[in-house]
Structure 1
């Protein structure tokens, strides 16, 4: 029996996603329209006539947007990201809109996490700056090896697990925290309480979703329990860390270095060219200028394989829900 064709509207579509969308739509017999816009109250009316909508993480899906989607007949909303804190999931469920998130192989983010550790440990940023002005001196560039350090991994989901396994090859001591310790990781890491991880770790990397309980988990109080000169890495969500605390930590030398792929209030800044604009995020600009702070534009996920998986999940989830009533990543 011929499958019915579902109409899907895709927001936040980058140029590098377009061919992948076309292939996925053909494979799944879906009609997909591509837009570069974010989904908000100004653009939501474009969803009329579509059963499914897919976005990335820059859209903010508020109850008002969800109400309008419901009025327009949208039944399924997918995010082509693992994280879904940009969607009011509980309200969507309340009004009967199915919410789906994506999955992709964890190596993209895990590799990037370890790269950030190495960048700050080997003082790559000031070394590159010096080369740009023909300064090839070594003073102030002495680094540290991962093997000599204790690394704490907060959160052992798929990405955290992959970070731990990859780090084991460097010979460093690894501590891990998860609400439920994972027996399969105990050959690589010692599971401890979060408090013990904070006090014992030289480097701490965070791999948790953003929830009410994890927001600003790095704050003045928790930072005070960490080692002097602690190195913090964040490739998850910027709001896990209070940015005022980060500034205080760098200025006071409590924080020895930061590797940040995400930042609070990054929306409308990251993933856009703002080269001629005035960017109204003073804390971001201030932190970025320190020689021991490496900041990238939320790109840890950004590999060929991950993009293909994200787009495929974004469409396949909607098609599966429409035709079969189930999808493994429904929230």
Structure 2
């Protein structure tokens, strides 16, 4: 089996080497995004692995099909950068990665604590030797009602971690998880909006969930509600977020993801002109905490992403050998 991996960061190289030796594979690693300009890199290979900046829509998928690529493994949980329906139609199999939810859950709880304890303005002040307390009074988690939208592996882990703080936890999902019910109460979405002091979103990005946090949803929430998103940026209508931060309907926001973050996040852009006005505008508010899509970024997270991608490709190959694919 010959695999070429694109968008490979230095922190992934060792794990790719371990997987190559473990399974006796040929793996070529390339730091660049896969595009039509460097498609020749896949010549002679059976499968590719990518991250989220390699956009696999119809034209690119056709190019890969013509190069006899059978399998695509994205080292991300989300697959919205791949046209899955068209890939299936032309016979290219696609798998995503699955890694332990603890790292993202930890990071989500950190964003919650940073917002309720107003750490951003605290950091600003102490950098100029201002140690005053005015305007910095925070809240205690145990006194809050926290809503979790989406109780898959990550949402469920966030709920489990939050249970130790003693807060009331409400959950919303079309599927109810008996393990989640040990720590949280499932309610309908309008009840969650109405009752929660803080809401964290952990849904996949689907047609039905795109911009689920919008003006109408926010209007049903408490004044001063705190919103957390470490899932997908497009789950939130960013114009609605900005407007409601300005009006102070939203009390604070913690974001690890942002619309049109591609080719900004995970790159050194400190001497560049960055063309994302919403990002530049929103991050200047003292009650908005933004991090560069790094909730996944732990040693175990990286190991899981690489291992899952390679093992997914090998599973496809095995199913094909058995005539089950």
TM-score category of the 2 structures, normalised to the smaller one? over 0.9
1:3 maps to: none
Structure 2 residue 179 is the aligned partner of structure 1 residue 184: yes
> What corresponds to 2:16 in structure 1?
21
Aligned pair 1:274/2:251, yes or no?
Answer: no
1:285 alignment partner in structure 2: 280
Q: In 2, are the aligned partners of 1:79 and 1:101 still within 8 Å (CA)?
A: yes
Residue 323 (structure 1) shift: 3.1
Alignment of 1:321 with 2:316, yes or no, is: yes
The superposition leaves residues 220-257 of structure 1 with CA deviations (integer Å, 9 ceiling, x where unpaired) of 11111111110000000001111111110100001000
Which of 45, 50, 58 is residue 55 of structure 1 equivalent to? Answer: 50
- Contact kept, 8 Å, 2:7 with 2:32, in 1: the verdict is yes
CA offset digits 1:180-209 (Å, max 9, x no partner)? 111222121010011111111110000011
How far apart are the structure 2 equivalents of 1:253 and 1:270? Answer: 27
Q: Is 1:195 aligned with 2:190? A: yes
Please state how far the C-alpha of 1:97 moved relative to its aligned partner: 0.2
1:302 alignment counterpart: 297
Does 1:154 find its partner at 2:111? no
Give the secondary structure class of the aligned counterpart of 1:58: coil
CA shift, 1:179, in A, is: 0.3
Counterpart residue number, 2:223? 228
CA positional deviation for 1:43 = 2.5
Contact 2:151 2:180 survives alignment (8 Å): no
Aligned mates of 2:192, 2:34 — CA distance in 1: 39
Q: Report the alpha carbon displacement of residue 16 of structure 1 after superposing the two structures with TM.
A: 0.5
- Residue range with higher mean Cα deviation, 127-136 or 38-47: 38-47
- Distance, in Å, in 1 between the alignment partners of 2:131 and 2:196 is 32
Q: What's the counterpart of residue 135 of structure 1?
A: 130
1:28–1:316 Cα contact (<8 Å) kept: no
Deviates more, 1:291-300 or 1:179-188: 179-188
Alignment equivalent of 2:108, drawn from 113, 135, 145: 113
Structure 1 residue aligned with 2:36, among 41, 48, 55? 41
Q: Which residue of 2 aligns with 1:96?
A: 91
Q: CA deviation digits over 1:51-83, x for unaligned, max 9?
A: 000001122111110011000000000001111
TM-score relative to the length of structure 2: 0.97
1:165 matched residue in structure 2? 160
Structure 2: runs of 5+ lacking an equivalent:
none
Q: Are the counterparts in 1 of residues 4 and 28 from structure 2 also a CA contact under 8 Å?
A: yes
Unaligned runs of 5+ in 1: 1-5
Q: How many residues align?
A: 323
**What TM-score comes out, normalization by structure 1 length?**
0.96
